[in-house]
Amino acid sequence: MTLSGKRQDLLSTLRSRTGLWVSGEELSGGLGISRAAISKHIAAIKELGYAITSAPGKGYLLTEAPDLLLPEEIVFGLATDTIGKVGIVHHHLTDSTNTQARDLARQGAPEGTLVVAEAQSAGRGRKGRSWLAGSGEGLLFSLILRPDMEPSRAALITLMTAVSVAEALIRETGVNARIKWPNDILVGRKKLAGILTEMSMELDAVDYVIVGLGLNINTPPDAFHDEIREIATSVLAEASAPFSRVALLRAILSRFEAHYNTLATQGPESILTRWKALSDIVGRRVRVSMMREDVEGRVIDIDPDGVLLVENDAGESLRILSGDVTY
């Protein structure tokens, strides 16, 4: 259920005065609706999980918001123009937010539409892998984009997302998040987040891009699935403190929109500079596992399309579009 119109305004008023009584008279005057309508809207808001006390002569008191990624929580204080502002779809459980976002994009959903889930039954990672995450512990979301760019440049969206996520994590939580090409966010050798970018083309233009993020936030270290316990980490594990998922989501979306606009108006230079500063891959000796072969060599650079440039031992320069890098 998503609140709309007056109901959202009512929640925003109570939300901005959390812990304080707000009289029914003030609410009904401010919103231009009857006291009976206020009480009906309050009942609907409580159904979402908000704790609201009411008392005759005092009015209404919001004491607690639910720890859910509800649209009404996300938009509260979200400093973006489009990203997450044109529509948010929230699922308690879905197969995969990327799949849901793709379906919406096919039906014409606009750029900036956000699909979030508390849990996924078929979360997808790169190369047919799955993404495993406990319910309500982190962020699982996908964004619909309709960039005006050549398909060969779509890798930049992944790099740009990685920069946005790493910056938001460092700023909001202090964890030492680093980027591993092309789409992993690591702390030390452990993975904190992964990005899955999927694109649909029409002729030679991008129709839509779905960018999906899985980020482990409040997962206790021993709660990770057996398969990933040794290689996964969470903000809680790294910072020894839980963090607000919704606040982190807002911070990521706001960094994302800033970089996305820069990419569209000024090109990739500043994104690539930030990416290189946040990744420690340039200059390193790496092994890249690709579909048909493995390559070893030294990373020379990232090119303006986001392609990894590796010099092998024979001195040849190789352009790596996709693969798994180890170093």
For binding to ligand BTN (CB under 6 A), which residues are involved? 96-98, 120, 123-126, 129, 131, 140-142, 183-184, 194-196, 212-214
Nearer to ligand BTN, 124 or 190 (CB): 124
Nearer to ligand BTN, 175 or 249 (CB): 249
Smallest distance, Å, CB 56 to ligand BTN? Answer: 46
Based on C-alpha coordinates, what's the Rg of the chain?
22
Nearer to ligand BTN, 124 or 274 (CB): 124
Smallest distance, Å, CB 260 to ligand BTN? Answer: 18
Smallest distance, Å, CB 4 to ligand BTN? Answer: 26
Q: Report the alpha-carbon distance of residue 302 to residue 272 in Å, rounded.
A: 7
DSSP assignment of 300-327: EEE-TTS-EEEEETTS-EEEE-S-EEE-
Nearer to ligand BTN, 80 or 96 (CB): 96
The answer to whether 216 and 192 are in contact (CB under 8 A) is: yes
Q: In sequence order, which residues have a C-beta less than 8 Å from that of residue 268 and are 6 or more positions away?
A: 153, 156, 304, 305, 306
Smallest distance, Å, CB 200 to ligand BTN? Answer: 16
Measured from the Cβ of residue 247, the count of other Cβ atoms closer than 10 Å reads 15
Nearer to ligand BTN, 38 or 196 (CB): 196
Cα→Cα distances 253→10, 197, 204, 217, Å:
25, 16, 28, 16
Smallest distance, Å, CB 97 to ligand BTN? Answer: 4
- Residue least distant from ligand BTN (Cβ): 194
Nearer to ligand BTN, 61 or 132 (CB): 132
Collapse the DSSP code of 136 into the 3-class scheme (helix H, G, I; strand E, B; otherwise coil) and give the result. coil
Smallest distance, Å, CB 299 to ligand BTN? Answer: 20
The answer to whether 124 and 130 are in contact (CB under 8 A) is: yes
